[in-house]
């Protein structure tokens, strides 16, 4: 598949055109395009989506439809990646903390992390600290993402971080986020990173695993 065709795939994901994104991914696979090149075109799309979001050129709905296009295209590519022995370098566990049922922001971060080629284990919402610990240990996570939308559930973030440290998983980097969360709160409870929104979550996670 030509460079121009891969650029079309990037553009299809950026615009959230799921039909075109999956069709172009199928064509690239059929044409024998190296899986890494197809993946790179996808990741480039989500990087640009994240940049546009941070610059207020697009907003949450546009980011969501791009992430969904990426998700569907990546689902087609994943068996090819596995066959080629290409796996995500880093693993992230993510969930909304205990007592909090909100998941839209968490879902968006999960999709953006997957779009950045992280292996993402999504535990859902209302996740107890011990479940985060168990999942982080089982999947040998590099990053744990904690989300909260309610001020009343913010203390559960500290409880979870304390549980991770008590389990001896000090090598794992913890990123927190959600509407009421601030950098000051992240510092206060010992989180390694704070993300104001999904695009920042990708940057923060990349920096933490590279450190």
Residues 78 and 84: their CA atoms lie apart, in Å, by 10
Kindly give the pairing relationship between strand 173-177 and strand 90-96. unpaired
- CB proximity list for 97: less than 8 A, separation 6 or greater: 126, 127, 146, 147, 148, 153, 156, 157, 160
Burial of 31 from C-beta contacts in 10 A (0-12 / 13-18 / 19+): exposed
Q: pLDDT at position 135, please? A: 98
- Residues of the chain with confidence (pLDDT) below 50: none
Residues 151 and 100: their CA atoms lie apart, in Å, by 10
Q: pLDDT at position 44, please? A: 94
Q: pLDDT at position 199, please? A: 87
Q: pLDDT at position 143, please? A: 98
Q: pLDDT at position 1, please? A: 61
Q: pLDDT at position 5, please? A: 87
């Amino acid at each position: 598949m030509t460079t121009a065709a891969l650029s079309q795939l990037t553009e299809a994901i950026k615009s959230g055109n799921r039909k075109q994104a999956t069709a172009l991914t199928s064509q690239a696979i059929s044409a024998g395009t190296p899986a890494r090149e197809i993946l790179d075109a996808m990741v480039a799309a989500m990087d640009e989506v994240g940049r546009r979001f941070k610059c207020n050129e697009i907003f949450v709905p546009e980011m969501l439809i791009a992430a969904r296009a990426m998700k569907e295209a990546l689902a087609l590519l994943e068996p090819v990646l596995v066959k080629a022995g290409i796996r995500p370098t880093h693993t992230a566990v993510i969930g909304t903390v205990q007592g909090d049922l909100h998941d839209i922001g968490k879902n968006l971060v999960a999709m953006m992390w997957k779009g950045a080629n992280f292996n993402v284990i999504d535990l859902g919402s209302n996740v107890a600290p011990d479940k985060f610990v168990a999942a982080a240990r089982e999947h040998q996570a590099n990053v744990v993402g904690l989300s909260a939308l309610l001020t009343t559930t913010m203390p559960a973030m500290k409880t979870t971080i304390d549980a991770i440290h008590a389990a001896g998983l000090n090598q794992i980097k913890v990123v927190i986020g959600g509407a009421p969360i601030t950098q000051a709160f992240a510092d206060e409870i010992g989180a390694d990173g704070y993300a104001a929104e999904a695009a920042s979550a990708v940057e923060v996670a990349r920096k933490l695993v590279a450190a």
